Amino acid sequence: MKELNNIPTSKVQRATRFLKTGVKVGGNYMKHYSRKLFDPSLTKEDLHNDNATDIYDALSELKGSALKVAQMMSMDKNLLPKAYNERFTMAQYSAPPLSYPLVVKTFKQVFNKGPLEIFETFTQSAKNAASIGQVHQATIADKTYAVKIQYPGVADSVSSDLKIVRPFAIRLLNISEKELDHYMEEVEEKLLEETDYVLEINRSEEISQACAHIEDLVFPTYYKDLSSARIITMDWLDGMHLKEFMASNPTEEERNRVGQALWDFYDYQIHQLKKVHADPHPGNFIIQPNGKLGVIDFGCIKVIPEHFYINYFALIKKDMLVDEDELNRIFYELQFLSDSDTES
């Protein structure tokens, strides 16, 4: 993959990226309709595919919070056409990485030392790129570490990124501006938290310890003396991501075991800790060769306020003994009713 030597940091530069995408999306519609004149079999799915690709290309060059928003959208799988989703799932694994000199520069700013003065080995290129940082592999003696480095300028760009991404969110998610505003505040707050790596380490340790008793879960150890506001050093967890795991044809038993560990992890966080790893996308989990589930990246933690918890989960208490049609009707009604009722 092509490495980026700089990220567009000014708002104007970023806005230009999006303008380009806007034009391209418009162009795709044109292309679609003119192609359709000749080939009526062309489906809407093809069109969505074209759009998703262009938007993804623009977003991945932006990194930072814009990429995060792409992730958010891809999480809401069911609210997006399939074509968008497949494309955005890629955002969860790999974005074009920063070049090595930029990594060294970040290290020198933080530790006054380059990575090779701290570690014995340090991979020149990133092993994984996350939305607001990238992960390098490093070693000291026989210990292997994962070193996550935050993209420079991310924290400063959150607010302006969100403003830029607004029109896209409205169009893609098909929601009203009012509704978007309501959510954007929450998103902004969470994104700013994610750029605070010191907070992330503290929360990672807190939740890892609280969940240590849960079967089949593995958490890396975090190294505070090798971390800072923009760098996190933790144990390297070996294993496969979900897609690779599924490609390896696991048995039903193995799949259920991983699933159960995941369920138990969330059940405990939500109902006991009332604090939850709110970023459950496949890139944040590693399935280890021994069948255990490794949890990495606690960047996004949602603290669940008590009054919200009570209202939201009151609904799981009642037994539902109605037929399918009735159930469907209630689901639909409830979306309107329950949503405004639980307005807080």
Partner 1 sequence: MIRLLGAPFHHDEFDFGDAAYFQQIFDLGESISNAKEFRKSKQARGSRHGLYINRTYFGLYNILHDLKAKVKTTKPDWALVEV
Contacts to partner 1 by CB under 8 A? 72, 75-79, 173-176, 178-179, 181-183, 185-187, 190, 242, 246, 252, 255-256, 258-260, 262-264, 266-267, 270-272, 276-282, 285, 300, 302, 304-305, 308, 311-313, 315-317, 319-320, 327-328, 330-332, 334-336, 338-340, 342-344
CB of 329 to partner 1, least distance (A): 11
Task: Say how many Å lie between the first and final Cα of the chain, rounded.
Answer: 46
Encoding tokens for residue 327? 């159930």
Q: Which is nearer to partner 1, 7 or 301 (CB)?
A: 301
Cβ closest to partner 1, residue 198 vs residue 246? 246
- Shortest distance (Å) from residue 40 CB to partner 1: 24
The shares of helix, strand and coil residues in the chain, as percent rounded to the nearest 5, are 60, 10, 30
Helix (H, G, I), strand (E, B) or coil at 52: helix
Kindly provide the b/e burial profile for residues 34-71, where b requires at least 16 CB atoms within 10 angstroms of the residue's own CB: eeeeeeeeeeeebbbbbbbbbbbebbbbbbbbbbbbbb
Q: Least distance in Å: CB of 310 to partner 1?
A: 10
Number of C-beta neighbours around residue 233 at 10 A? 24
The residue among 63 and 68 lying less far from partner 1, judged by its C-beta, is 68
Nearest distance, CB of residue 91 and partner 1, angstroms? 14
- Residue number, 13 or 272, with CB nearest to partner 1: 272
Residue 205 contacts by C-beta under 8 Å, 6 or more apart in sequence? 222
Of 82 and 163, the one with the shorter C-beta distance to partner 1 is 82
Q: Which amino acid is at 85?
A: N
Minimum CB separation from partner 1 for residue 246, in Å? 7
Q: Which is nearer to partner 1, 3 or 185 (CB)?
A: 185
The minimum distance between CB 234 and partner 1, in angstroms, equals 21
For 41, list phi and psi in degrees, rounded to 5: -80, -10
For residues 252 and 291, the answer to whether their CB atoms sit within 8 Å is no
